[in-house]
C-alpha cells in the first residue's frame, strides 16, 4: 500500500530525495512551480501533474520541500480547498513538510489538515544536498506519534535518522536551533581561515590543524568555506549549488522570531542574521552560504 508518493518542490534537495524514493521502489507524482525542476524526475519515470491539488488527489503520502513558510501555505490551501474526489486531499492523508519554516505556520497548517481528517507533520531535514543525494538525511519530526510511526519507514528511504521531536512545530524548533548554530559556525570558520591565510598560513595546513584540535566543527571539517580545501563542496566550485545564502538568512530570521517569542538571548544568532542579510543585498543571495568567506575578503582593508 501507499506505493505512490506525492512530491512537491523539486529543487536542490527535493530532486535527490524524490529520486531515492523511486530507486527504492515507489512511483512518484510530482509538481513544481517551475517546470524545468521536474525534467530530471520525469526522465526517471515520475508523473508530472499541473497542480498541487492533483498530487494530493493521487497520493495519500505527500512530501513538500519548498523554500519557506508562504510557499508551504500556498500549497496546503488549494490542496484542502477542494474536497476529494474533485482533485483534493484524500481523507487520512499525511502531509510531510520537509521545508524549513516557522513553527507557527506549521501549527496553522496542522489545524487546516485536521479539519479535513488529514495529518500534517513538520519534518525538516539536516544534512544538506550531499546527504539528500546519498539518502542519509536526518529528519526532525513534529506531530502525532501514531502518524509519525506510520511514515518513519518512508522517511528512512531518504534519511539515516528519523527523530520524533514532540508535538507539531517541535521538528521546526530543533531544525532552527541547529541552523542557527551552523550559520554562526560557518562565519566563525570563514573569518578564522581568512585570518590564518592573511597571517601567511597554508589553508590546507590550517584546516588540518583545526580539524584535529578543539576548533573543529562541521563547517571546518566537512564543508570548509575556502576553495580547494575540501573536494566536492560548493566552495570548490565557485559556491554553486548547496545551501543558498538566502535560505540561511531565512533560517536565521526564523531563529530571531523564535528568540523574541520565547524571550531568549541570541546575540551571535542576531549578528549572523545581519551578516547573511548583508550578503543577500550584495549579490550573494543565490550562492552557497559558505560564500561568507568570499564576502569577508571583499570587505578587506588591505
Catalytic residues: 175
60/245 with CB nearer ligand NAD: 245
Q: Is the CB of residue 229 less than 8 Å from the CB of residue 204? A: yes
Report phi then psi at 148, rounded to 5.
-60, -50
User: Of these, 100, 119, 220, 277, which contacts ligand NAD (CB under 6 A)?
Assistant: 100
Residue from 41, 48, 56, 66 that binds ligand NAD (CB under 6 A)? 66
Which of 96, 151, 127, 122 has the alpha carbon at shortest distance from 16? 127
Cβ distance to ligand NAD smaller for residue 75 or 206 = 75
Name which position in 5, 6, 7, 13 contacts ligand NAD (CB under 6 A): 13
Q: How far is the CB of 198 from ligand NAD (least distance, A)?
A: 29
Are residues 230 and 223 in contact, defined by beta-carbon separation less than 8 angstroms? yes
Question: What is the nearest approach in angstroms of ligand NAD to the Cβ of residue 212?
Answer: 26
Residue of 243, 276, 284, 293 that binds ligand NAD (CB under 6 A): 243
Angle between helices 170-198 and 203-211 (to 10 degrees): 130
Angle ∠(113,132,19) on CA atoms, nearest 5: 80
- Could you count the other beta carbons within 10 Å of the beta carbon of residue 226? 23
Question: Helix 69-81 vs helix 103-115: angle between axes, to the nearest 10 degrees?
Answer: 10
The one among 12, 57, 123, 138 contacting ligand NAD by CB under 6 A: 12
The yes or no reply on residue 233 touching ligand NAD (CB under 6 A) is no
Window of 26-34, 41-49, 149-157, 291-299 that interacts with ligand NAD by CB under 6 A: 26-34
Say if CB 124 and CB 143 are below 8 A apart. no
Contact call for residue 34 and ligand NAD (CB under 6 A): yes
Judge contact between 293 and 193, C-beta under 8 A.
yes
Choose between 196 and 256: whose C-beta lies nearer to ligand NAD: 256
The reply to whether 32 sits near ligand NAD by the rule CB under 6 A is: yes
Task: Out of 29, 48, 55, 65, point to the residue binding ligand NAD (CB under 6 A).
Answer: 65
Answer yes or no whether residue 8 interacts with ligand NAD by CB under 6 A.
yes
Q: Do 147 and 119 contact (CB within 8 A), yes or no?
A: yes
Name which of 206 and 291 has its Cβ closer to ligand NAD. Answer: 291
11 in contact with ligand NAD (CB under 6 A): yes
Q: Which three cell numbers stand for residue 113?
A: 489538515
| CA-based nearest residue to 179, from 75, 283, 68 | 68
Count of residues of this chain found to bind ligand NAD when the rule CB under 6 A is applied: 28
Q: Is residue 129 a contact point for ligand NAD (CB under 6 A)?
A: yes
The count of residues in the chain is 302
Separation between Cα atoms, residue 188 and residue 209, nearest integer Å: 16
Q: Which residues bind ligand NAD (CB under 6 A)?
A: 8-14, 31-34, 37, 65-68, 71, 74-75, 99-100, 125-126, 128-129, 242-243, 247
Amino acid at each position: 500500500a501507499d506505493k505512490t508518493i506525492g512530491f512537491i518542490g523539486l529543487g536542490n534537495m527535493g530532486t535527490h530525495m524524490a529520486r531515492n524514493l523511486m530507486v527504492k521502489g515507489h512511483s512518484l507524482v510530482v509538481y513544481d512551480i517551475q517546470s524545468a525542476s521536474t525534467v530530471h524526475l520525469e526522465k526517471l519515470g515520475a508523473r508530472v501533474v499541473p497542480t498541487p491539488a492533483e498530487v494530493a488527489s493521487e497520493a495519500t503520502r505527500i512530501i513538500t520541500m519548498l523554500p519557506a513558510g508562504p510557499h508551504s501555505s500556498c500549497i496546503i490551501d488549494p490542496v484542502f480547498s477542494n474536497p476529494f474526489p474533485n482533485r483534493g486531499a484524500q481523507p487520512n492523508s499525511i502531509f510531510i513538510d520537509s521545508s524549513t519554516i516557522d513553527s507557527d505556520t506549521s501549527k496553522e497548517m496542522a489545524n487546516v489538515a485536521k479539519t479535513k481528517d488529514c495529518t500534517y507533520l513538520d519534518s525538516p531535514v539536516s544534512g544538506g544536498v550531499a546527504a539528500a543525494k546519498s539518502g542519509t538525511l536526518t529528519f526532525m519530526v513534529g506531530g502525532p506519534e501514531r502518524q509519525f510511526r506510520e511514515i518513519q519507514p518512508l522517511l528512512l528511504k531518504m534519511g539515516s535518522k528519523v527523530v520524533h521531536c514532540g508535538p507539531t512545530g517541535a521538528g521546526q524548533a530543533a531544525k532552527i536551533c541547529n541552523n542557527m548554530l551552523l550559520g554562526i559556525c560557518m562565519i566563525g570558520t570563514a573569518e578564522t581561515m581568512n585570518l590564518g591565510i592573511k597571517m601567511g598560513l597554508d589553508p590546507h595546513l590550517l584546516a588540518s590543524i583545526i580539524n584535529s584540535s578543539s576548533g573543529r566543527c562541521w563547517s571546518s571539517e566537512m564543508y570548509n568555506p575556502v576553495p580547494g580545501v575540501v573536494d566536492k563542496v560548493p566552495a570548490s566550485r565557485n559556491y554553486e549549488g548547496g545551501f543558498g545564502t538566502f535560505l540561511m538568512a531565512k533560517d536565521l530570521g526564523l531563529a530571531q522570531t523564535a528568540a523574541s517569542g520565547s524571550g531568549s538571548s541570541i546575540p551571535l544568532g542576531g549578528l549572523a542574521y545581519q551578516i547573511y542579510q548583508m550578503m543577500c543585498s550584495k549579490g550573494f543571495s543565490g550562492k552557497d552560504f559558505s560564500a561568507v568567506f568570499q564576502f569577508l575578503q571583499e570587505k578587506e582593508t588591505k
